[in-house]
Amino acid sequence: MSGRILDGRAHAADATLHCDVCVVGSGAGGSVLAERLVARGLNVVMLEEGGYWTRRSFDGREDLAYARLYQELGNRATDDQSVLILQGRNVGGGTTVNWCTSFRTPRTVLERWRDQFGVQGLDEAALTPHWEAIEQRLHIAEWPAELMNANNRVLWDGCGKLGYSRGLIRRNVHNCANLGFCGLGCPVDAKMAMNVTLIPDAVEKGMTVQANASVRRLLVGPRRVDGVEALLLDPETDKPTGVKLTVRSKAVAVCGGAINSPALLLRSGLAGNGNVGKRFFLHPVVIMSAVMPDRVEPWSGAPQAAYSRHFIDRGPGKVGFILEVPPVMPLIAATVFPGEGERHQAILEQLPFTQTTIAICEDGLLPDDVGGTIRLKDPTERRVSIDYPLRPFHFEAFKEACKEMARIQLAAGANEVRSLHSVPVRMTRVEEVEAALDRAPWEPGRVRVATAHQMGGCGMGKDPRTSVVDSQLRYHGLDNLFVVDGSVFPTSLGVNPQETIFGIARWASQFVAAGAA
Amino acid sequence: MGVHPEALPGTELSRRSLLKRGLLGGSLLALGGLGFLALRGGRLVPVPPDGLRVFSPREFAVLDSVAHRLVRPRAGWPTVEEMGVALAADRIAERTEPSAQKELKQLLGLFENGLAGFLFGGRTRPFTALDGEEQDRVLAEWRDSNLAIRRTGFSALRTLVLAGYYKSPRVWPALGYPGLPAGIHRPEAPEWRGGEVPRPDGNGVWHGDPQR
C-alpha cells in the first residue's frame, strides 16, 4: 500500500507517528537509506525541513528556486561571510539542485579513512555492489563529449593544450534535454534526483514523507533514542505553524547533511566528547571568469561535463584541487562576480561571452587542517554558527589554482581573464598571470570563496574520543541512533560527494535495519 | 542611548582606541543601534504603500541609497525605482530568521550612523546624507577595510541589495539572458503525493528529444 508525501499543513494539531525507522533528511543519504529500509519491509517515516517541490514549480527562475530549494534562500554562508554555501533544502535535498556530477570515492580516500581514522569494512569491495545498483537506477553514465557545452569546452580544450589530465564527467540523468537548469530543479524530470527516483520508489512501498518538518530534537534515553520531535512549518511562509509532530521509532537515522546533522545532535545534548560539529569540511572553491571571443552562454547545456584532477596531489604540505565548471545565471552572477555600479554592470553585460572555471580544494588532508566547526547560535532558530577559518594553506592553494585556471582559460582563447577579488585582477596575456595574482590580496573577504560540498562534523572512526559515529555509522554509545550522510566523512573527498553518500548510505542500510530490530 | 559624534575627541589615536575597545567588546554591530543623535540629518525616502515588514523607514532609506550606487542608470537597464530594490530587500529579509534580521538592521544602522562614520572614516554625516561619490567612497572603505568585520558587513549588504535588483526577470534582457526556453516548463504537470493515486508515468522519465 502506498504511503504519502505530506506537507506542513497535513496536521491541524499536535500528532504522533509510530514507525520502525525515522529518517531525518531526504537528500542523498536519507533517500538511499530509506528506500533500502523500505525494501527490507521496514516501516519508515522520513522528515524533511524543506518543502516538496516538483517540476510543476521548476520554471527556471533563480529567485524562486533559491528561496524554495536552498538553505537560507541560497545565502547560507560561514559566520564571517567569507564562504558562500550552496546547499539543498527540499524533498530530495542537494540531489534536487546539484549539477549531476557522479564520482565513485577515490580509493586513496577510503584507505586514508581506514589507516588514519580506523574506519573498518568500508572499502571499494564493500561499496562496489552498492555503486553498481545506484548507477543502474539513476542511469549514471559519462556525458558524451559531443554534447559538451561551450562553458565546459574551455576547460577541456585548455587542459588539452597545456597537457593537463582531463576527464569526462558521469551524470545521473535519463533522457536529458541538455538544458542546463539542473541547479534550479530539473524542469523535465530528466535528472535522476531523489525527488523523482528513490523517494517515490519508497513511497510506493509505504513510506511516509513529511515535508516542512523542522526536527528540533532527538528523544534521547539511556543508551537509546526513542524518536524525534519536529515543528511543522507553513509551506508558504516557512514559519512554524505551532503544530508539533512527534515520531516514535525503533531507530533514528540523522541525514541532514554536514551542517544540520551536527546541529541536531548538539540541540539534543549529544556532543560526542566534543567531536560533534568538529572537522567540518567544505571543499572551498575559488573561481576565475574569462571573456571569450565567441558566445559561451554559461547557463546553457549540461552544467558539468569536463573535469581535471591534474592538481589533486600537489606534494607535501599543499592542498590539492580539482577543476570543474559551474553554470552561471544572472542572479548568482550578480552576487558572486565582483564590482559595484557601472563596472559591475559592464561585467554582467558580458555574461553571454563569460566562461567560468572553479577549483575545488581538497580540505582536511594536511595534518594541521582540522577544518571548521558547527555550533549552535540560538537553539530555537534553524540558523547555526558555521565557523570555517581560511588559513594560509588554503590561500596558497587558492592562488595557485587561480593561476592554473587563468592559464587554461587563456590557452583556450580567452580575451581576458578575471579573478573574483573584490577588486578583480584582470589579465590578458599568460605572461602576466604569475605576478598579477602574486600581488593580489589573499585574505578572507577579499576574494570570493564558495562551496557546494559540505562534509564532516559527525566523523566516523574507531575511537569515541576522536569520532562521533563508529564504522557502522552508529553514534558512539547509543545503540539505535545513526548518522547517514556526508557529515560522517572523516576528511573531504577531492571529488563531488553525491555518489560517495549514495554508496555509503546504501551500504549502511544493513546496520540501520539491524539497529531497528 | 545616543552618543553625539562631536562629543568625541577627534584624534586618530582616540578613534582607533575607541574602535578597538568596541571591537574587543564585540559591540561593533551594536553601534548600529545607537540612537537618533548619531543618525540626525539622514535622508528619508517615501515608503511604498505595501509597507515595510522588517526594516524601518531609515533602514529602508539606507538600502535605497546603496541600491542607487550599486546599480547605476544605464541604457537598456531598468532603474532602481522601477525594480523597487529596497522593498525587494525587505521582502527577502522577511524570510530570514529573527537573528539574521537583527544583524541586517544593525548593519544598516552602522552604515548610516554618524558615530560609526566618524570612527571609520572621520565623517559625521549619515550615509544617506552624503552625495553619490562620497557614498561610493564609503562603500569602498567597507569593502577594502582592514577590519574583517567591515568586509563581512559590506558583503552581506551588497548581496542583499543586488539580490533585490537582479532577482527579477526584467533585468534579463540587459544581460542577454533568455531564461528557460519556452515550452519546457509545465505548470500543469502532475504532482504526485502518493496515497491511492498511481504514480504518473512521467515522474522520473521525460519523453522529450534528448538531443535538444
CATH of the domain at A396: 3.30.410
Identity (one letter) of the amino acid at A218?
L
Residue B139 has pLDDT above 50, yes or no: yes
Task: Say whether A349 and B176 touch across the interface (CB within 8 A).
Answer: yes
> How far apart are the C-alpha atoms of A332 and B166, rounded to whole Å?
9
**Phi, psi angle pair for A35, to nearest 5°:** -65, -40
What 3-state class would DSSP assign to A380? coil
Q: Does A204 touch chain B (CB under 8 A)?
A: yes
Task: Tell me how many degrees the CA angle A234-A237-A239 measures, rounded to the nearest 5.
Answer: 60
Which of B90, B101, B151, B212 should we substitute to test contact with A (largest number of A Cβ atoms within 10 Å)? B151
Rounded to the nearest angstrom, the minimum Cα separation between A348 and chain B is 6
Tell me the residues of chain B between 102 and 121 that have a Cβ less than 8 Å away from chain A.
none
Task: Say whether A178 and B211 touch across the interface (CB within 8 A).
Answer: yes
CB A300 within 8 A of CB A180: yes
Asked if A30 and A115 sit in the same domain, the reply is: yes
Q: Which three cell numbers stand for residue B18?
A: 575607541
Task: Tell me how many degrees the CA angle A511-A138-B196 measures, rounded to the nearest 5.
Answer: 80
Asked if A16 and A131 sit in the same domain, the reply is: yes
Asked if A477 and A339 sit in the same domain, the reply is: no
Asked if A264 and A302 sit in the same domain, the reply is: no
Rounded to the nearest angstrom, the minimum Cα separation between B125 and chain A is 22
Asked if A119 and A163 sit in the same domain, the reply is: no
Asked if A163 and A46 sit in the same domain, the reply is: no
Task: Say whether A444 and B148 touch across the interface (CB within 8 A).
Answer: yes
Q: Is residue A408 part of a domain?
A: yes
Task: Say whether B192 and A175 touch across the interface (CB within 8 A).
Answer: no
Residue written as grid cell 523517494: A199
A317: number of Cβ within 10 Å: 10
Can you name the residues that pair with A173 across neighbouring β-strands? A191
Closest Cα to residue B80, out of B92, B89, B71, B90? B71
Q: Is residue A347 part of a domain?
A: yes
Burial class (CB in 10 A: 0-12, 13-18, 19+), A13: exposed
Asked if A99 and A204 sit in the same domain, the reply is: yes
The arithmetic mean of pLDDT across residues B129-136, rounded, is 95
Structural domain boundaries, residue A215: 5-70+87-139+193-274+457-515
Q: Does A238 touch chain B (CB under 8 A)?
A: yes
Task: Say whether B179 and A60 touch across the interface (CB within 8 A).
Answer: yes
Q: Is residue A506 part of a domain?
A: yes
Q: Is residue A293 part of a domain?
A: yes
Asked if A254 and A164 sit in the same domain, the reply is: no
Rounded to the nearest angstrom, the minimum Cα separation between A304 and chain B is 17
Q: Is residue A335 part of a domain?
A: yes
Beta strands in A311-401 (DSSP E): 321-324, 354-361, 373-376, 384-387
**Which of A52, A187, A382 lies at the smallest CB-CB distance from B97?**
A382
Q: At what angle do helices B148-166 and B57-70 cross, to 10 degrees?
A: 80
What 3-state class would DSSP assign to B178? coil
Q: Does A162 touch chain B (CB under 8 A)?
A: no
Tell me the residues of chain A between 330 and 349 that have a Cβ less than 8 Å away from chain B.
330-331, 333-335, 340-342, 344-345, 348-349
Chain mean pLDDT for chain B: 80
Q: Does A236 touch chain B (CB under 8 A)?
A: no
Asked if A156 and A58 sit in the same domain, the reply is: no
Give the pLDDT confidence score for residue B1 in this predicted structure: 31
Task: Say whether A340 and B139 touch across the interface (CB within 8 A).
Answer: yes
Q: Is residue A450 part of a domain?
A: no
Tell me the residues of chain B between 59 and 88 that have a Cβ less than 8 Å away from chain A.
69-72, 74, 77
CB A19 within 8 A of CB B150: no
The H or E element that residue A135 is part of is helix A124-137
Closest Cα to residue A398, out of A348, A464, A446? A446
CB A188 within 8 A of CB A391: no
CB B46 within 8 A of CB B93: no
Residues on chain A touching B149 (C-beta within 8 angstroms): 80
Q: Is residue A495 part of a domain?
A: yes
**Total count of domains within chain A:** 2
Tell me the residues of chain A between 449 and 468 that have a Cβ less than 8 Å away from chain B.
none
Close Cβ partners of B141 (under 8 Å, ≥ 6 residues apart): B120, B121, B150
Asked if A350 and A433 sit in the same domain, the reply is: yes
Tell me the residues of chain B between 29 and 48 that have a Cβ less than 8 Å away from chain A.
none
Which of A7, A89, A91, A345 should we substitute to test contact with B (largest number of B Cβ atoms within 10 Å)? A345
Residues on chain B touching A177 (C-beta within 8 angstroms): 184, 206, 208-210, 212
Asked if A400 and A496 sit in the same domain, the reply is: no
Which of A26, A68, A75 should we substitute to test contact with B (largest number of B Cβ atoms within 10 Å)? A75
Residues on chain B touching A204 (C-beta within 8 angstroms): 194, 199
Q: Does A299 touch chain B (CB under 8 A)?
A: yes
Residue range A228-241, pLDDT digits in tens = 999 999 999 999 99
Q: Does B175 touch chain A (CB under 8 A)?
A: yes
Residue range B161-181, pLDDT digits in tens = 999 999 999 999 999 999 999
- The chain A residue lying nearest B150, using CA atoms, is A445
Each of the 517 residues of chain A gets a pLDDT tens digit; together they read 689 999 999 999 999 999 999 999 999 999 999 999 999 999 999 999 999 999 999 999 999 999 999 999 999 999 999 999 999 999 999 999 999 999 999 999 999 999 999 999 999 999 999 999 999 999 999 999 999 999 999 999 999 999 999 999 999 999 999 999 999 999 999 999 999 999 999 999 999 999 999 999 999 999 999 999 999 999 999 999 999 999 999 999 999 999 999 999 999 999 999 999 999 999 999 999 999 999 999 999 999 999 999 999 999 999 999 999 999 999 999 999 999 999 999 999 999 999 999 999 999 999 999 999 999 998 788 899 999 999 999 999 999 999 999 999 999 999 999 999 999 999 999 999 999 999 999 999 999 999 999 999 999 999 999 999 999 999 999 999 999 999 999 999 999 999 999 999 999 999 999 999 9
Q: Does A56 touch chain B (CB under 8 A)?
A: yes
Q: Is residue A503 part of a domain?
A: yes
Residue after which a domain boundary falls, among A443, A474, A503 = A443
- The chain A residue lying nearest B137, using CA atoms, is A340
Asked if A110 and A258 sit in the same domain, the reply is: yes
**Which of B70, B179, B212 lies at the smallest CB-CB distance from A341?**
B70
Residues on chain B touching A187 (C-beta within 8 angstroms): 180, 184-186
Give the pLDDT confidence score for residue B40 in this predicted structure: 59
The H or E element that residue A290 is part of is strand A285-291
B78-91: burial string, b at 16+ Cβ within 10 Å, e else = bebeebbbbbbbbe
Q: What is the dihedral of CA A285, A308, A88, A499, to 10 degrees?
A: -140
